[in-house]
Structure 1
Amino acid sequence: MAKTIVVNSTPEETRMGIFEGKELIEISVERTKSGHHVGNIYKGKTKNVLPGMQAAFIDIGKEKNAFLYVGDELQANATPKNVDQTLTVGKEIMIQIVKDALGTKGPRATTNLTLPGRYVVFMPTVDYIAISRRIASEEERTRLKQLVEKVRPAGMGIIVRTMAEGKSEDDLHKDIEYLYNLWSALSARAKRAAAPILLYRDVDLIIRIVRDYLSEDVGEFVLDNREAYGRVRDLLQYTSPELMNKIRLYEGKEDIFSHYGLEAELEKVGQRCVWLKCGGYIVIDKTEALTVIDVNTGKFVGSTKLADTVFRTNLEAATEIAHQLRLRDIGGIIIVDFIDMDDEEHKQAVIEALEANFKRDRTKTNVLGFTELGLVEITRKKARQNLEGMLYSECPCCAGRGRVQSSETVVINIWRMMRKIMGEPRRQGKMVIQVHPLVAEMMKNQGELTRMEQELACSLRLESVPAMHPEVFSVLHENE
């Protein structure tokens, strides 16, 4: 099924949506100010070494130091040439960012440096060849490996990307030669420059789209920015002239995201509840450590027996879960609570449905199966802040809890405070209690103010303040 890539570019941000037919399968947003750090290569300076953790914090000239776990480097497929287990404070080292800073955590770094091209990923610090798992044909995998062996620089590694399928030796050689020259320039600069310094910045979202997404299965690539449109055409003229006819400049009066229905889809990204076509629904909740997804039958009651209703809901949920994880770019540990199934064949079919749908996902995902408690464990690689984290900030009322104290709880707190105040000496005159409108409504409806005046022998006035936090209240003297 042909894909359509839609790009909206403004000075503040670049947004991308990918459709497969009429289904939106991926959204990316990159802000100009916050930028994109994954893939950047720095010459950093070691600030702290943690021998017990085989780790170090590296100063890269940013607000937060990068975290380098040497254990990761030693567990890689091949031992990197530039890994030094004897890191000391003040030592300079070349590192690459593999995970953006998230929350209170700084960026994650590696010494396994990579430079991505259109057909290959160049790895100057290791010596091996790998082929994309998405290239299924063993004959094609063997052909590509033999071609790369002929043209790669001695002692350096290459990952052959999916885009390389069917490409010639000349195509691969040009890509590798360009990346080798880039690496030579970076190495020379690293020897001269003092740390901390940025040596290489990964390309912006628009160029990454061309590099990582634009292929023969894309029917149309639509941009609404003339300058970006020109850059894409210039790049393709050099790398893939056969794809030039897929590029189109959108010149409609309506915003391009609205025209393609993407604005409405973006609004749904922050919703907890996602309805299924059958009438069931899934609920997505995030914690610091993992994402939890609950599956419910909702309005779907089926037409035969309960087991079939549950199975059909779970199968549809499996497809939607894979879609939502990709759309929202949720990574890390994911736990799914499917509706309980007793039939082992039904359970296996749900796992297979998850795995089949994840094959469409560019991000590496593993389905680990059902636990003893009947939960499904999934891991998905996390490199950047997910879409929801970029578009939304913590609620100032609930501070991220997703709830605030009930009006009843606030009224009880007011009672507690009033009893304390009235127990103090020389308390005279009328007092004013300021509260949020919801709390004020409850106090009026339940006669709380009258009861307070009677029990505490005081004169009170209730004031509703819309701007107040729902959990906050004030007790003032009338003359204040």
Structure 2
Amino acid sequence: MKGSTIALDHLNGAEAAALVVDGVLQDVLIDTDLPRPGTIYRGIADRPVKGQGGMFLTTPDGKAFLRQVKGLAPGQPILVQVTGYAEPGKAIPVTTRILFKSRYAIVTPGAPGLNISRRIKDDDLRDALLEVAHSEMTGDAGLILRSSCDGADPDDIADDIRAMAGLCGQVMADTEGAAETLVEGDGPHALAWREWTDPADVDAEPGSFARHGIDGMLDGLRRAAVPLGPSGTMVIEPTSALVAVDINTGGDTSPAAGLKANLAAFRDLPRQLRLRGLGGQIVVDPAPCPKKDRRQIEQTLRAALKKDATETIVAGWTQLGLLEIQRKRDRVPIRRILT
């Protein structure tokens, strides 16, 4: 099946969205009962955490944790935004660097300046976008125009800027009062519209997951083993401390088997981590291959990560020949949702 399809449906009663490209599941978003990333609270400072430079906050959804606190006293209200999903038993991660994000525009309060995505290369288009930005932006907030502006209707871009700037002004002025949710984070359907901007067929009718075979694709995410070509496999197993990834050549005993399996695995690893909602510390045990191949393997991984929006750091190789990766936890593990 060629082409891109966005399916908007519900899974076990929860809102869900999936992106399929050429018959391969590229991304899936499933709602949970946890606070969504992007949610903005007026939180109340509770108590500092000595030695960590942070503070617990009271929010309508429970305790939140704010890092790098300066000049914040217990009882003081503060505007914060949820940055990711909390691990079981831990506080909600929040930040004071609030962003108002939509399909075309990101408004950045407290960070003035007009910026255009570097992916937009056409000088005439950049000049036209700057004109739209200057005509719509007021106040001291900053603006980032996203790569999705390329080819978009200028009126739609202006509407987006106006809406985000208006919301920013309203929220950032609402600083006094008890703990309150000021803005709810986007759900899967809104996120799909906001983030999946490449041309695609959209199926928003009930049962779209079944029509496009997405239910079966999700079943594959329950299994740890990922096939790699004729005989190789990549086994992804999350533990309480880290995510372990083991790459095997299977029955291929040719001299280049290890390199082939490793390259195939690292090309697909960001997609697998994204679909499975995995982050934190990731340790990869590659298939046996000479040390001279490590540079090529790492380059392959970095190239694959450029297509992935989640902040990921390739830390390097250990003395035992394992590759360490640090990835932001911005999703709920799929195993917690599908069980």
Q: TM-score, normalising length from structure 1?
A: 0.64
Aligned position for 1:440: none
Pick aligned residue for 1:328 from 276, 286, 302: 276
Note the alpha carbon deviations across 1:62-100, whole angstroms, 9 max, x for none. 2x31000126xxxxxxxxxxxxx2111111111111122
In the alignment, is residue 300 of structure 1 matched against residue 284 of structure 2? no
1:42 partner SS: strand
**Structure 2: distance between partners of 1:206 and 1:279:** 37
**Structure 2: distance between partners of 1:333 and 1:139:** 41
Aligned position for 1:385: 332
**Structure 1: distance between partners of 2:125 and 2:141:** 19
The answer on whether the counterparts of 1:30 and 1:36 sit within 8 Å (CA) in structure 2 is: no
1:56 partner SS: strand
Larger RCO, structures 1/2 (Cα 8 Å, 6+ apart): 2
State the shift of 1:141 in Å. 8.8
In the alignment, is residue 218 of structure 1 matched against residue 199 of structure 2? yes
State the shift of 1:171 in Å. 4.3
**Structure 2: distance between partners of 1:142 and 1:289:** 45
1:198 maps to a residue whose letter is T
The answer on whether the counterparts of 1:2 and 1:218 sit within 8 Å (CA) in structure 2 is: no
2:64 maps to a residue whose letter is A
Matches within 5 A, 1:21-40: 21-31=22-32, 34-40=33-39
Deviates more, 1:256-265 or 1:101-110: 256-265
Aligned position for 2:320: 373
Structure 1 residues 387 and 316: CA distance shift in structure 2, 3 A: same
- Name stretches of at least 5 consecutive residues in structure 2 with no aligned partner: none
Aligned position for 2:110: 125
The answer on whether the counterparts of 1:340 and 1:374 sit within 8 Å (CA) in structure 2 is: no
**Structure 2: distance between partners of 1:86 and 1:377:** 36
1:108 partner SS: strand
Structure 1 residues 165 and 333: CA distance shift in structure 2, 3 A: farther
Aligned position for 2:187: 204
2:54 maps to a residue whose letter is A
- Name stretches of at least 5 consecutive residues in structure 1 with no aligned partner: 72-84, 226-254, 393-480
State the shift of 1:266 in Å. 1.4
Structure 1 residues 120 and 61: CA distance shift in structure 2, 3 A: same
The answer on whether the counterparts of 2:103 and 2:160 sit within 8 Å (CA) in structure 1 is: yes
**Structure 2: distance between partners of 1:256 and 1:170:** 31
1:109 partner SS: strand
**Structure 2: distance between partners of 1:203 and 1:327:** 18
Aligned position for 1:163: 148
Q: TM-score, normalising length from structure 2?
A: 0.89
Note the alpha carbon deviations across 1:151-208, whole angstroms, 9 max, x for none. 43342122222212244665443322211211233245444xx211111112322122
Q: Percent identity between the aligned chains? A: 26
Aligned position for 1:152: 137
2:18 partner SS: strand
State the shift of 1:24 in Å. 1.1
1:53 partner SS: coil
Structure 1 residues 107 and 132: CA distance shift in structure 2, 3 A: farther
In the alignment, is residue 266 of structure 1 matched against residue 218 of structure 2? yes
Note the alpha carbon deviations across 1:1-35, whole angstroms, 9 max, x for none. 7321112236821222211111111122114xx15
Matches within 5 A, 1:39-438: 39-62=38-61, 64-70=62-68, 85-132=70-117, 135=119, 137=121, 139=123, 143=127, 146-147=130-131, 148=133, 151-167=136-152, 170-191=155-176, 194-213=177-196, 215=197, 217-225=198-206, 255-302=207-254, 306=255, 308-344=256-292, 346-392=293-339
Note the alpha carbon deviations across 1:189-246, whole angstroms, 9 max, x for none. 444xx21111111232212211221x3x333010124xxxxxxxxxxxxxxxxxxxxx
**Structure 1: distance between partners of 2:116 and 2:316:** 27
Note the alpha carbon deviations across 1:93-132, whole angstroms, 9 max, x for none. 1111112221111111111111112211111122244444
**Structure 2: distance between partners of 1:340 and 1:371:** 15
Q: Please state which structure has a larger fraction of its residues in strand.
A: 2
CA RMSD of aligned residues (A): 2.5
**Structure 1: distance between partners of 2:302 and 2:3:** 22
